[in-house]
Homo-oligomer: A and B are copies of this chain.
């Protein structure tokens, strides 16, 4: 499991020619890092007299970042798992018509499945961005730059997820799936961009 590797080992294997981890795992980790910064801002806001009025809401946000943290981290490893299925499907023989057909089906199935992980990276990072946006408004000003970095990393995670969905869609024959997934991805990106940019502007104003 990659989430047990040290930062330096993970970066090293990421830079290698090993098929996993790749951009999907890196995007999931970026999402986990961005979301964790949101959790940190909650922890630095809770218990401070100045922020007493917003404390219940910040505690609620903290709870949500805890859930997202676990989910996003798990995706680092899940991305590697689904990629292995895709790689296995690419290696199937295609000597006969029957083999060709079987390979095509296995590949389509594996690629559709592989889309689910970056889609989850996008969905969870979008959820985390909603929390980050709110923290830009009500979180401790002492940690305002951390909210900003969190928003930047989550935005990168959303778009990184998108690129990983798109590269998988490129090999899928099911037109309806490709079209619907493509639309869904754009919808998440649009929402995430607006949230991230608003959070970032709020941070710059307070710096």
Q: Which A residues are closer than 8 A to B by beta carbons?
A: 2-8, 10-12, 14-17, 22-24, 26-27, 29-30, 32-40, 43-44, 65-66, 69, 73, 76, 143-146, 148-150, 152-153, 155-156, 159-160, 163-164, 166-167, 170, 200, 203-204, 207
Contacts and interface: CB of A to CB of B under 8 A. Distances in A.
A158 to B, nearest CB: 9
- Copies of chain A in the complex: 2
The dominant DSSP class at the A interface is helix
A7 B5 contact: yes
Contact of A4 (B6, B36, B40, B159): B6
B153 A149 contact: no
Contact of A163 (B24, B27, B203): B203
Contacts of A27: 149, 152
